[in-house]
A = this chain, B = another copy of it.
């Protein structure tokens, strides 16, 4: 008999959905609690029922970016993807969302995010013959490289867009070019180092 339409209340994941929409339209600088609230037709304070603070919400956004629960990480049954493939996949995910690398970078640094890719990378390292500690180090190294490189790249992309519309990028000392293949070249260097450390012939 409860007839009233129950005016569409939100849950955690609806809030994250809204945040993803705001992110893709406004970027990280425009991703404010107020804009997210507006997207949901709700007061800002309502968001604080779902998340204790903005960083926690950003961590949930980060989870979504790197793939929280779906089929990216092949767990253990699947044939082990090698480090290069895992790294490239992580990069694609970061690039698929505006300012993805920066958001993930800060959630990770704050210890609010665990990366599925990190697990896969450590496993790949062990399969190459590294011991557990060295495999963790190798995974950290690759993750730092991927995020650092992609962060840098996304900022440049944004600056180029602004610059094209704005024509005032005289501050930056140039080279908006840089080969996309440069990512792969650096990645191959790191993987070569991992192999060398593991003593693979």
> Do the beta carbons of A156 and B193 come within 8 Å of each other?
no
Q: What is the interface size of chain A, counting residues whose CB is below 8 A from a CB of the partner?
A: 48
Q: A189-B197, A191-B193, A192-B193 are in contact. Are A171 and B140 (CB under 8 A)?
A: no
CA distance A115 to B175 in the complex (A): 15
Residue in chain B with minimal CB distance to A172: B111
Interface members, chain A 75-123 (any B CB < 8 Å): 102, 105-106, 108-112, 114
Residue in chain B with minimal CB distance to A171: B112
What is the copy number of this chain in the assembly? 2
Residue in chain B with minimal CB distance to A136: B182
Determine the chain B residues whose CB is within 8 A of the CB of A161 once the complex forms: none
User: Cβ of A196 < 8 Å from any Cβ of B?
Assistant: yes
CB distance from A163 to the nearest CB of B (A): 10
Determine the chain B residues whose CB is within 8 A of the CB of A147 once the complex forms: 148
> Do the beta carbons of B144 and A140 come within 8 Å of each other?
no
CB distance from A122 to the nearest CB of B (A): 13
User: Cβ of A185 < 8 Å from any Cβ of B?
Assistant: yes
Q: Footprint of B on A, CB under 8 Å?
A: 56, 102, 105-106, 108-112, 114, 133-134, 136-138, 140-141, 143-145, 147-149, 151-152, 154-156, 159, 171-176, 182, 185-186, 188-197
